[in-house]
Structure formats: structure tokens, C-alpha cells
Structure 1
Amino acid sequence: MKGVTHFAIGALTAVETSLLIDKPLTPSGFIFACVFSLLPDIDEPNSKISTTLIKSSFSKAVYRYTLYLINMIIFFILIYINKNLVLNFIISFSLIILIENKLKHALLRKCLFSLLSIILSLSLYYIKAPFPFISLSIFLGVAPWLKHRGFTHSILGVMFIYYLLNEIEQLLGSEYIALYGTIGYLSHLFLGDIFTKMGIPIFYPIFNKKISLGFIKVGSFIGNLFEIIYIFIYFSIVIYTLKYKI
């Protein structure tokens, strides 16, 4: 499903959960629910949460200038080795085409995420930040290199996130961060992607088979229509629950 749909489902799930279990939905709990409803797609370099952390326009500019820089370096090296300018131009032009075919924008975005993770992790370590914060930072850098809809879309991934959120909750002394953050994460999997045609590998890495309860293809006309109707129905359920509670 699209990022905006996951975000809406995460927010609605947080509200519905609060109504059903009579646990107050704190501002921090609601924020964590919304943010972590997008987090499973961190393994996709061009997902909604990925483009929020690193804008596509920025990475595309870096990609373009990286190719320019590589081309210049190759050309100057060739000039140093060989004084034939025409031959150097032909060789450098051929090499840059080859490099451009190998160095894709998505690959560069993954490298940028890793670089961001390293800088953030070292900064947190330098200021002696608690380990859970450093672990989450490392996860943000590693996740884009993982197989899409693999670890992040499994029960094992949910357990890892709950552990980190529980530790962060205790450190911050803010209630229900772990509860609603995990609820938001779960909503992405079991109220979202499981209904797509691709499905999710719930028991990864023990079983890699993806489980699907639907036929929706993300981005298709039917898929977009389904997401709109789904959110409307879910919103209606939340309103009904709210009226029942009142």
C-alpha cells in the first residue's frame, strides 16, 4: 500500500486501540504510532519514510554530481597516463557510460542512508547516548540494504522494534511509546501489506514464503480505489467505536 495509506491506517489503529483497551493515547504515543506505521518500508530506498529522511531531489543532485566528479577524475588520470586527448576522451566517455549503468540512483540512496546512519551513530556514541538510540540509528542504515518485504515485514522485525521502543520508553519516561509504536508498525503489516498481491513473509527467516490475504496491486487503479474505500470504512468503524464509548 501507499505511504499515505499506511500513515492513515496507523493513526486510526492507534485511536481504535486506545478506545478498545482504555489506554490513553498520549501525544508521544500517537506520533510514534504514525511514524512507525511507515517504518517497515525503510527497506525500500524510495518509500515515503525514506524520501522523508532523504529527499529524492537531494539524492538525485548528489547522484548527478557524483557522476560528474567520477568522470573528471577518470579523465585527469588518463591525461596523466596518456597525453592523447582524443583517446582519453573516448576512454573516459566509455567508462562513465559503464559506471552510470552500474551506479544506479537507488544504490546511491542506500549509500547515503548508510552514511547518515554512521554519522548519526557516531554522534550519539560521542554524546554517550543510550544504546537503544544507537541501535535504532544503525537499523536505519542497514535496513535499505535488506531484501524488500523481508525482515522488516516479519514477526521477528516486530519483536526487534518492540524491544527498542520499550527500552526507549523507559529511558524517556514517557508512557505507551512501545505500545502504540508497535501497534503502528503492526498495522503496516497486518492491516496493510498483507492485503496486497505481494503479501508479507510473516515467519521470515524461518519460512520465506509470503502470505497474502488479498489481490491488490499497489499503484493500480483498483488498488488505489480499494485503499480509499478501506480508509473510509476504517474511519467509520473508529467513529462508531467512539460513539459507543461515549
Structure 2
Amino acid sequence: MKGSSHLAIGVAAGVGIGLYNQVEPITIGLFAIVGGVAGLFPDLDTNGVASNKITLSKSLLKIPLMVMGICVILYSLFESFMALRIDLQIMGSIIIGGIMILLSSVITQKRMLSFTGVGIVMGGIAIDMSYWIILLGIYIVIASFLPHRSYTHSIIGLSFFAVILYMAQEAMNLEGLLIVGIVGYISHLITDMKCLPMNRRGVKLFAPVWNKEF
């Protein structure tokens, strides 16, 4: 199922829970956001709507990194020409420039997601050791290295996300955050199941214990 569909279902779930519990309109709006985000979260393991929304484009890092690498190499060669020799420092600078160019050629959008996760972890540490933010960053980093529809689409992924939601709910004293996030996440897993005609693949809910696709 497309990311936009997962988003819509998650938003609808959040609104529905808010209306059922007769909360204030501003809380319904917040529930809609949480449900929509949770409905997209399992797809952080692929270059979909969720990952592209929270990460910068790889081109924003790729081009500057390549230019800096070329500049480092050219400057190092100029230094060696002026000094009429090549010492270890100049050789080291040339190697560093080459590594920068190599990195610019292999960096992918998923690695940008990894950097985003690391940044969130560091942010959580900086903000009075906010453990739910740290765990959120760890979730993102792990998801960025996983194949699509693997552990983020399983009970393990759901459980990890539920812990983050619980800690966030306690930290922000926002009752209902946990249930809305869980429902949004589960809605994604259900709509990705093979029993639905639009899905050729299913989800391995009980991986790694049982790798059967549902």
C-alpha cells in the first residue's frame, strides 16, 4: 500500500479515537498527527514518504562533499608544487580528499536517514537525557539498515515503538498518546498483509521466530 494511504488511515484512526473519547478539538488534531505519523513509521525501512519527510535530500550532502574533496586534493597538489616535494602531510590530505569524493559517490538516501537518527539521539541526550527521544533515534538508525517489510513490520517493531510511545506519553503527560500511536502502527501492518488484494507481499509479524508472511 502507498504511503499516502497509510497516512490517511493513521490520521482517520487518530481522529476516530479522539471523537470516541470526546476530547477537545486541539487534542483531536494532535491525535490525528500522531496516528498519521505512526501509520507511516514502519516504512522507515524504505525510501518512502516517512523517510523522505524527515531527512534532507542526499544531493544536499553529496555535491558539497564532492566539491570539498576535489578542493582538498587540488590545494594539496598546489602545496606540493610550491614546495617542490610531497611529504606525509600532503599525502594524507590527498587521501582525505579522495575519501570525501568516494563517500559522495556512495552515499544514499537511507544513509541520510541514518544520520538523521544519530542526530535525534544526540538531541535526546542534549535535552536532559530524554530517553524516548534517544530511543526514537535508535529506532530510526536501525530501520535505515533493515530490508523493507522486515522487523519494522513485525511484533518486535511494534513493541519497540510502543515503548517509545509510553515513555513519550509519561514525559509529556499526554493521556491517549500510547493507544493512538499503537493503533496507527497496527493499521499499517494490517493494510500491508498479503490477504488484501493490493499486496503481493505480506508481513512477517513473528520474525525472527516464525518467518511466515501474513
| TM score, norm. by length of structure 1 | 0.66
Which consecutive unaligned segments of at least 5 residues does structure 1 have?
A: 84-94, 212-246
SS in 2 for 1:38: helix
Query: How much does 1:133 deviate?
Result: 1.9
> How far 1:23 moved relative to its partner?
3.0
Letter in 1 for 2:213: K
Q: Distance in 2 between matches of 1:197 and 1:24?
A: 39
Tell me which of the two structures has the higher relative contact order, counting C-alpha pairs closer than 8 angstroms and 6 or more residues apart.
1
> What are structure 2's unaligned runs of at least 5 residues?
85-97
- Structure 2 partner of 1:39: 41
Which amino acid is the alignment partner of residue 30 of structure 1?
Answer: A
Instruction: Quote the offset at 1:149 in angstroms.
Output: 1.0
| Equivalent residue number for residue 165 of structure 1 | 165
Q: How much is the aligned-residue C-alpha RMSD, in angstroms?
A: 3.0
User: Which amino acid is 2:34 matched to?
Assistant: F
Find the counterpart in structure 2 of residue 198 from structure 1.
201
Structure 1 distance, partners of 2:18, 2:119, is: 37
Q: Secondary structure at the match of 2:147?
A: coil
Counterpart for residue 21 of structure 2:
23
- Determine if contact 1:60/1:105 at 8 Å carries over to the other structure: no
Q: In the aligned structure 2, how far is the partner of 1:79 from the partner of 1:110? A: 36
Identity among equivalent positions (%) equals: 27
Q: Give 1:153's aligned residue.
A: 153
Give the 5 Å matches for 1:29-68.
29-44=31-46, 46-56=47-57, 59-68=58-67
5 Å-filtered alignment, 1:95-134, equals 99=102, 103-106=105-108, 109-134=109-134
State how far apart, in whole Å, the 1-side matches of 2:11 and 2:75 are: 54
Q: CA deviation at 1:32?
A: 0.8
Offset of 1:167 from its aligned partner? 1.8
Contact 1:113 / 1:144 at 8 angstroms: preserved in 2? yes
Q: Between Structure 1 and Structure 2, how many residues are aligned?
A: 192
Deviation (angstroms), 1:73: 4.2
Q: CA deviation at 1:77?
A: 5.9
